[in-house]
Structure 1
Amino acid sequence: MSGKTVLVTGGAGFLGSHLCDRLVEMGDDVICVDNFFSGSKQNIKHLLGHPRFELIRHDIVRPLFVEAEQIYNLACPASPKAYQYNPIKTIKTSTVGMVNVLGLAKRCGARVLHTSTSEIYGDPEVHPQPEEYWGNVNPVGPRSCYDEGKRVAESLCINYHLAHQLEVRIVRIFNTYGPRMHPDDGRVVSNFIMQALHGKPLTLYGDGLQTRSFCYVDDLIEGFIRMMNQTETIGPVNLGNPGEFTMKQLAQAVLEITGATSGMTHEPLPQDDPKQRCPDISKAEKYLNWRPETNLHQGLQRTIEFYRHVSEAQ
């Protein structure tokens, strides 16, 4: 089905801009909403002027009045550096902003896909993490503005669904990377690549043996589309790559692909930094027939190529 009017909140962000590309390519009319707190006009510059693309500068903490058949809610800073910069703003986006998005959907009769996060599992005591796991989150820690905000947003989605029969879909995103990640957003993939390209040692926190799973952006966007357009489950459904790597393995891969010889250095582990993070994607496989296709080496090569162009342009 194409030719729908689709609203993407946070549409000028890393993931949002790739989603807008895909929806326009599919033939949908896309309304991109962003307040540019962490998004960038550069990410959607190539879409400006396209007949099926519209950009609105707006903060979803304030009510929004547009018409749409589907809404992808991606509005929220996602890197620790960004969401801890203004924690009150972060939690308001996930709570007040979520209420506004759901209210808009209720008025329009739109289906909402909300992008939640693996951070709701906190520092997990169950591994890998299935959707049934309730998490181990510090409600007053430095990451709580994001973790707890996203947990409340999921609750709001479910309660709007139960109270108003609103069509909702919830996905939980695990670490995703690729072109258009901000070079200075503080996430591990961008940190390692930029350090390597500038000949600096790659910073490992703790012993570097904590693990993450890394999903390439194109695979994740495919998961979004499939989740939105299926009718078997409202979720939540984990979307991520079940391949698990230590931070040291990731650093070694970045050094190898970039050809950098700068080595690694160690810093203390930040508070509440999860030791393990890996998705159980059996529900995504069952309901969406979805599994990531891009391996870490392929994805890193494409991402490093993007950052090389960014560095050369500066």
Structure 2
Amino acid sequence: MNKELYYFIKNLFDEDGYNTILKNYGVKQIFSSNPLIGVANGNDPIFEKFKEVVSADHLTPKEIWKDNNLPYLNNLDNSIRVLSIVFPYTSFIRDKYSNGSDLPPEIYSLSRHIASYFIPDVLSKLVEYIKSKGFYAVAGIKSPSFKENVSSADKLYATWSERHAAFAAGLGKFGLHAALITEAGCNVRLGSIITNAPLEITPRSDDEPYGNCLFYKNNTCRKCVVHCPINAVSEYGHNKIICFKQRNRVRDEMRARLGGIIDDSIKHLCSKDNLRAGCALCQFDVPCMDKNPTKYIK
């Protein structure tokens, strides 16, 4: 069933109106029609480990299942699957970055905002498709207990981390900038669903979390450190609290910049007051932007 769902998702990338809504801005598609998918066993011990790594209230797939009042099934522990999806930005958007800029490309900010509609739409349609096949499914971000930007002491986290779900599904490993470096790079977005559909698990190569990053691999790269204008990324890792402040600054500046160029095609989705802009400067013009760079080490 993995292949069937992959082509269902791929068709959504081609046909969903959100992915092509920025054509007036020269964007044929926000996300490439080459998504990646991976599948983790919902009973994988790694999800319990995330309660230590992310937060004690990070949800497990089984908790999300119960949270959504899905029925208890025989052999539930072994039948739940986590299907994770990588949404790679197109090169048109990735290549707009200007070296040395302290703001992301304007078209990236618009694209990131539209992604907040496109990704949930893909997940919702995927859930309905799986249900039409006689199985249960729910998106983690639709769970009643899902919360993002939860602050606790020096931590900032979500109660369902798409990055960690993708790691569990073998789709990538973390970089110095804390983004997940997938085979399509780190300049991506992620989404996931929990289901009892009979999906084949795509095993991780191992549980080592940093194997795709050149800094951790052979100490040859620090470009994400150089690109961060506020030192939220260093050789010691990524400071989410500092990064979050930068995200808010970028959001406010981009709202001011983009307010005058929001045309009629996206006004129903986007205004200068609700623009969900982010930073991600550490994910542009870096060796891991659009690939897993460790595969190219000679």
* TM bracket (short chain): under 0.3
Give TM-score, length-normalised by structure 2. Answer: 0.25
